[in-house]
């Protein structure tokens, strides 16, 4: 069972996490949800399209203008409080590697801390434990936040992913994070080149076999763009193909820009796998 916020999800129930960037320089939407009202409209639309989680981030993942912890908190804390007020049932995740920001957003009502940089601040797990919220434990190859990989080498990339993510998950539980609220993430593109991310996808079943629920953040990433030689705005088809493979291999949570399209993909895969029935079944019955 996976428990996040007020929600519980069974073993074969896919969970869509909608990306809501509170940054002026996000790589995909170029700051479209930096201001409050567009961001709140994005949350409302994402929920209507089938997202159970909204993932709020105040710092662009890639290199760019320096963002202090104070500025990151300014972009996220009040917004988290407003989302909690307007949408009391939605699961609120915050994408941060900083413990101080994590503490502030938990006070404001966050349910999940998405640590995309692999425990670079070990105090973040302590915050999750103190507030009894969920935690995403990600493999980032030891990279510093907001840096790009350069000539990264792994003897076995999946072995490294498993050692790091399972180690972070076990530490989190030992600190007091509820076991049913801990997820592991292979960290596509983070500390990896395109071949590493493709292999991580191909071998995702090895992560699923650990028993920890697996989150994948695939949406319009560079490994998709390089694989198909497509710019950022033309990566949706490749993203959805990767999503379908990940769903078939057992991923549980999907961090995405395109909520409705992802929802259809994971529901279709679930029906093929026999985990859900068709929404309508009239063919051949008239």
3-class secondary structure per residue, 246-284: HHHHCCCEEEECCHHHHHHHHHHHHHHHCCCCCCCCCCC
What integer is the mean pLDDT of 64-87? Answer: 96
Place of tokens 């983070």: 190
Helices 157-175 & 123-131, crossing angle to 10 degrees?
A: 50
What integer is the mean pLDDT of 230-242? Answer: 97
Given a cut of 80, whether residue 286 has pLDDT beyond it is no
Q: Name the active-site residue from 75, 221, 235, 252.
A: 221
Q: According to the model, what pLDDT value does residue 29 have? A: 77
What integer is the mean pLDDT of 153-177? Answer: 98
Q: According to the model, what pLDDT value does residue 26 have? A: 82
Helices 194-202 & 157-175, crossing angle to 10 degrees?
A: 70
Given a cut of 80, whether residue 249 has pLDDT beyond it is yes
> Given pLDDT bands bounded at 50, 70 and 90, which one contains residue 73?
very high
CB 180 within 8 A of CB 133: no
> In sequence order, what are the residues at sequence separation of 6 or more whose Cβ sits closer than 8 angstroms to the Cβ of residue 196?
152, 154, 157
For the question of residue 233 being annotated catalytic, the response is no
Provide the 3-class DSSP secondary structure of residue 64. coil
Count the Cβ atoms, other than its own, within 10 Å of residue 137: 27
> Given pLDDT bands bounded at 50, 70 and 90, which one contains residue 30?
confident
Phi, psi at residue 233, to the nearest 5°? -75, 0
Q: According to the model, what pLDDT value does residue 76 have? A: 97
What integer is the mean pLDDT of 64-88? Answer: 96
Query: From CA 157, how far away is CA 195, in angstroms rounded?
Result: 10
Q: According to the model, what pLDDT value does residue 32 have? A: 87
Q: According to the model, what pLDDT value does residue 160 have? A: 98
Given a cut of 80, whether residue 27 has pLDDT beyond it is no
> Given pLDDT bands bounded at 50, 70 and 90, which one contains residue 25?
confident
β-strand pairing of 2-4 with 134-138: unpaired
What integer is the mean pLDDT of 230-243? Answer: 97
Q: Name the active-site residue from 255, 263, 276, 282.
A: 255
| Residue-wise pLDDT tens digits, 104-119 | 999 999 999 999 999 9
Count the Cβ atoms, other than its own, within 10 Å of residue 28: 14
**What's the angle, vertex CA 44, arms to CA 40 and CA 45, rounded to 5?**
115
**CA distances (Å), origin 5, targets 90, 110, 148:** 8, 8, 32
Q: According to the model, what pLDDT value does residue 92 have? A: 98
Given a cut of 90, whether residue 284 has pLDDT beyond it is yes
CB 186 within 8 A of CB 205: no
What integer is the mean pLDDT of 159-179? Answer: 98
| Residue-wise pLDDT tens digits, 186-210 | 999 999 999 999 999 999 999 999 9
What integer is the mean pLDDT of 20-46? Answer: 89
Q: How is residue 20 written in tokens?
A: 């809501």
Average pLDDT, the chain: 96
Given a cut of 90, whether residue 28 has pLDDT beyond it is no
For the question of residue 221 being annotated catalytic, the response is yes
CB 190 within 8 A of CB 145: no
Given a cut of 90, whether residue 48 has pLDDT beyond it is yes
């Amino acid at each position: 069972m996976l428990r996040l916020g007020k929600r519980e999800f069974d073993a074969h129930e896919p969970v869509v996490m909608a990306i809501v960037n509170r940054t002026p320089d996000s790589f995909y939407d170029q700051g479209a949800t930096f201001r409050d009202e567009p961001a709140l409209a994005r949350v409302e639309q994402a929920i209507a399209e089938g997202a159970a989680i909204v993932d709020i981030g105040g710092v662009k993942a890639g290199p760019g203008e320096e963002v202090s912890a104070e500025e990151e908190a300014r972009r996220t804390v009040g917004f988290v409080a407003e989302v909690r007020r307007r949408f009391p049932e939605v699961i609120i995740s915050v994408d941060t590697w900083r413990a101080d920001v994590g503490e502030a957003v938990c006070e404001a009502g966050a349910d999940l801390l998405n640590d995309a940089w692999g425990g670079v601040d070990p105090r973040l797990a302590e915050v999750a434990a103190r507030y009894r919220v969920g935690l995403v434990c990600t493999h980032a190859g030891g990279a510093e936040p907001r840096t790009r990989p350069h000539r990264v080498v792994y003897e076995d990339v999946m072995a490294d992913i498993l050692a790091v993510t399972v180690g972070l998950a076990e530490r989190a539980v030992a600190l007091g994070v509820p076991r049913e609220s801990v997820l592991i993430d292979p960290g596509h593109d983070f500390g990896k080149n395109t071949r590493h991310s493709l292999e991580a996808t191909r071998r995702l079943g090895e992560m699923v076999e650990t028993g920890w629920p697996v989150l994948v953040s695939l949406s319009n990433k560079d490994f998709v763009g390089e694989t198909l030689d497509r710019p950022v705005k033309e990566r949706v088809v490749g993203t959805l193909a990767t999503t379908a493979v990940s769903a078939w291999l057992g991923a549980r949570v999907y961090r995405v820009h395109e909520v409705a399209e992802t929802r259809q993909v994971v529901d279709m895969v679930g029906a093929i796998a026999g985990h859900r029935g068709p929404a309508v079944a009239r063919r051949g019955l008239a």
